[in-house]
Structure 1
C-alpha cells in the first residue's frame, strides 16, 4: 500500500492504470482512522449520516452544521485518504452563489479535499462555478437520496432506454462542467458500463455493477453494524451481533459481581 496522499491526479492515474478505487463512508475520528490505516483511497463524509448516525428516515434533514461537525472529526483521523464531503440538501440548489459559498465552507472550515453533490445537467452551471472557485467536485447520478420523495422511494433507477439516455447525457454534462469523478448509484450494470465507456473520468459505483472504476459502500453496511442492509451491500463482518453479545456479557458480569476482577483493579 502506498502512503502517498490521494489526490485528484492520483485517482486519474489509477483509472489510466486500471487500478480499482476504494471508497467508504466515515462519520467520526475513530472510524476514519481505522479505514485510513486499512488503506481505503477515499473517505466519504456522506449526508447518509442522517440515516446512519442521527436516526433520520432520509438525508433531507441534514444541515451544513451537521456536515461540518462530522467532516472535522473525519479529517482529524485521516492522513492518506481523500476526504470527500457531501453537500447537504438545499445547500447548493437555491443559488449558484450560495452553492459556491457552502462548498468553500466544507473545505475551508471542515478540512475536506472535495465535495459531492447530486443532480445531472441541471446542476452543470453550479458545478462549473464551484470548480472555477478551485474546489474539486464529485458528481452523483442514479438513485439520488436527497430526491427520494421525488423519485418515489429507494429503488433502482434508469431501467428503460429513455431514462438511461438521460443519465448518459447527464454524465457527459457533468464531465464537461468539470467534475473529477462520478458516483453511480442503483442503476443496471449494463448502463453503468455504458457510462464508463462514454466519459473519461473515474466512475465509482454503489449498486451499479463491477464495470465501474471503483466502488463505495456505507461502512456500517460493510461491517454489519445494522440488522438490515441493502441488496448491493456485501456484509464483510457481523458487528451488530458481536457488539450486542459483548454488551450482554458485560451486563451479566457486572450484575453477577464478576467485573471488575482483581486484575482490573488498583
Structure 2
C-alpha cells in the first residue's frame, strides 16, 4: 500500500481570476454556509460570502445592518465547506468607508479569521484610495460598481443604474479607477446592458455581471434566488429550481404523517437487542 497522500487541491486565487479576462467565463455564486459551499464548490470558480446574507439568511430589510462579526462567522463556514473555489468575503457597511488604516484593520481581521482569498468593497470615489491602500498591503480586493446595495439609503431603493449619460459616465469612471487602484476583478450590478459591455472593454481586469450583460467576463447570482427560495426575485434572476415549493411540499407531508401517527415507522425506530431486557 502506498504511503503517499493525495495531493491537496489548490484553491483558485486572485491571480487565477485576473488571468481569466476575456477567456472562459468565470462562474460565481453566493454561499453562506458550509453545506451549501460544499455543494457549489465543484461548479464555481468563486464563492462570494455576500452581505446579502443579511436579507437572505437573517431576514433584514437590506444589507445595512450586517456586521463584521456576521461576515466573519459565515466566511468561516464557507471556507470549511469548500476546498477549490476562491472565497471572497464582503466588507459590510461602515467597515471600510472611513480612514484607510481602519479599513485595513477590518479587512486584515476578515482575512485572518476566515482564511478567505479576498475581500469585496462597493467602490466609489471615496473608496478608490482605500482599495489601493489595501492592495499595497497584501489584501486582494474585488470591487463592485453600478447598483450598490449598501447605498440603498441614499439611492432611495434598489434601481438599475447607468440609464442616463451622467450616471453612465460616473460609473464608467469609477470602474476604471477601481481597476487602476489594483482590484483583481469588479462586480458590475444592475446596469444598462451597453454600459456593462463598455466597462468590460474599458478595464483590464475581469468583470462579473449580475443584472448586467452576457458580455461580462463572468456571472454571479444569489444562490437562494437562483434556487427559487423566494416568492419574488429581481428581473435579472433566472430560476434553475423551485426549492420553495419542494420544501413546502416536504414539510406538509411530514406534518400529515406526524398527525396521523405514520411517522416514525418501523424503519425509523430502535428496538432492544435480542435476549436483552
Q: Structure 2 residue aligned with 1:84, among 74, 83, 88?
A: 88
Q: Structure 1 residue aligned with 2:57, among 38, 53, 59?
A: 53
Q: Structure 1 residue aligned with 2:264, among 251, 254, 260?
A: 260
Task: Give the secondary structure class of the aligned counterpart of 2:59.
Answer: coil
Q: Structure 1 residue aligned with 2:164, among 146, 160, 169?
A: 160
Offset of residue 227 of structure 1: 1.4
Note if contact 1:121-1:169 (Cα within 8 Å) is conserved in structure 2: no
Offset of residue 263 of structure 1: 1.4
How do residues 112-127 of structure 1 correspond to structure 2 at under 5 angstroms? Answer: 112-127=116-131
Task: Give the secondary structure class of the aligned counterpart of 2:97.
Answer: coil
Offset of residue 264 of structure 1: 1.6
Q: Structure 1 residue aligned with 2:175, among 171, 178, 182?
A: 171
More helix by share: 1
Note if contact 2:100-2:130 (Cα within 8 Å) is conserved in structure 1: yes
Map of 1:246 onto structure 2: 250
Larger Rg: 2
Distance in 1 of aligned mates of 2:217 and 2:155: 26
Map of 1:6 onto structure 2: 12
Note if contact 2:97-2:126 (Cα within 8 Å) is conserved in structure 1: no
RMSD: 1.0
How do residues 211-230 of structure 1 correspond to structure 2 at under 5 angstroms? Answer: 211-230=215-234
Note if contact 2:14-2:117 (Cα within 8 Å) is conserved in structure 1: no
Stretches of 4+ aligned residues off by more than 3 angstroms: none
Q: TM-score, normalised by structure 1?
A: 0.96
Count of aligned pairs between the two proteins: 262
Unaligned runs of 5+ in 2: 1-8, 271-277
Offset of residue 44 of structure 1: 0.4
Map of 2:41 onto structure 1: 36
Distance in 2 of aligned mates of 1:9 and 1:80: 15
